Amino acid sequence: MVKKNKRPSSSTGSPNSSKKRRTSKDYVEPQGVQAIPLNYEDMPLDHKRKFFVNHDMGSQNKYIEMLCWIRHMGFQGGTVFEDVPNLNYVEGKGYPLVEVEVLCDDHSVKFLISKKNLYVVAWIARNKNFQFDQCGFLIRGFSLLSGWYGNYTSKAWEYVGPKPMRKALKSLIKDNGIDSCIEACEVFFVHLSEAARFYPIQALVSSTLTPIVGSFISPTYSDELDVLEGENGETITDNNDVFTLVKAAGPIDLKARVKTPDVVEHLLKNYSNLSKCWYVYALSGKKVFRMSQSDVSYFHMKTRKSLRCTLAVLCGVNLNKILKEWKKLAGRFPNFNREDYELMSRRVRELQEEEKVFVN
């Protein structure tokens, strides 16, 4: 991925027991921070949403409805996913944050989420307001948590479901110190931020896939079913093909404690580069397919169809950026000439005129 966000899609870290436990003195009033000043009171009512989490996560439909709402509000402001802006990206439209209030029994915590990258930047609990350092905003009346840079520090987020959400919410209500609050917040980074950002891929994994692709791509290329050679001549078997994962029947059981498979973690972390590979392949008229043998093995891509189906739900791709990159690289590929590049450019212009947006 081009420029990584501070908080990764999956944690690779673990609790750092050697660090000194932080106390209330680590909360400081933000002064002189180079960030966008905001008044919390200015947030419009339509930027706020309540979500009741109970033993079935407030019902699966309500949870998914909330994720879709977060994504929708992000698109209104022009959402950027891993530095790949959607084609309808508009900078600076409206109030930059949305609020999700999570309620459980008699407890309530409010999370403020950035519309630009859908990450939690602040929370309100126990009538106290806190915002994370490096979030890009300076919210009036919010205490700044300094010295924390948004990297996952524990595995509290590891399991998905209502039980960790309820436990984390109650932990935020109690005053157990900053480390405890951060660990609890990480649960909501996953259940709100990461889940909303990657909901299309979640939907792809959880339901039978009928690929939706741009009109510039033929329904099926004849060579899409050709088996790709992996690293050291390895051939991906049907059982190990990522396609068997993405076409699996759903829905996901949100009551279960589901640990994300490694292959899905890899896809989430690398889907930006994978999408570029596919779009260049499609726009070049199947003349250029840039996937190394090691990537074929790493991502379990048996065929090009496996890649297309996996990427069919991507939120968008910056086609102008692809054109700029390939104007420099096209000369390195003997079967991709200037005429091919001009055809590729025309296809991009047609898509822009149609205001095509590649969504799930």
**pLDDT tens across 65-102, in order?**
888 888 878 765 444 443 433 434 345 568 889 999 99
pLDDT tens for each residue of 102-147: 988 888 999 999 887 788 889 998 888 988 877 788 899 998 876 6
Q: Are residues 142 and 222 in the same domain?
A: no
pLDDT for residue 218 is more than 50: no
Task: Tally the domains of the chain.
Answer: 2
Q: Are residues 218 and 321 in the same domain?
A: yes
Q: What is the pLDDT of residue 215?
A: 33
Q: What is the pLDDT of residue 188?
A: 87
Mean of the per-residue pLDDT values of the chain:
67
Closest CA to 198 of 61, 77, 91, 313: 313
143-145 and 128-132 strand pairing: parallel
Say if 12 falls within a structural domain: no
How many CA within 13 A on the CB side of residue 45? 0
Closest CA to 167 of 124, 252, 107: 107
Report field, pTM of the whole predicted structure over 0.95: no
Q: Are 102 and 108 in contact (CB under 8 A)?
A: yes
Residues with Cβ within 8 Å of residue 324, at least 6 apart in sequence: none
Tell me the CATH number at 29.
3.40.420.10
Q: What is the pLDDT of residue 15?
A: 29
Q: Are residues 314 and 211 in the same domain?
A: yes
Per-residue confidence band for 278, with pLDDT thresholds at 50, 70 and 90: confident
Closest CA to 119 of 168, 180, 190, 57: 190
- H or E segment and range at residue 85: strand 84-85
The range of the structural domain enclosing residue 304 comes to 206-353
> Crossing angle, helix 199-206 and helix 60-77, to 10 degrees?
140
- Please give the Cα distance from 285 to 92 (Å, whole number): 36
Vertex 84 angle, CA 79 and 90, to 5°: 40
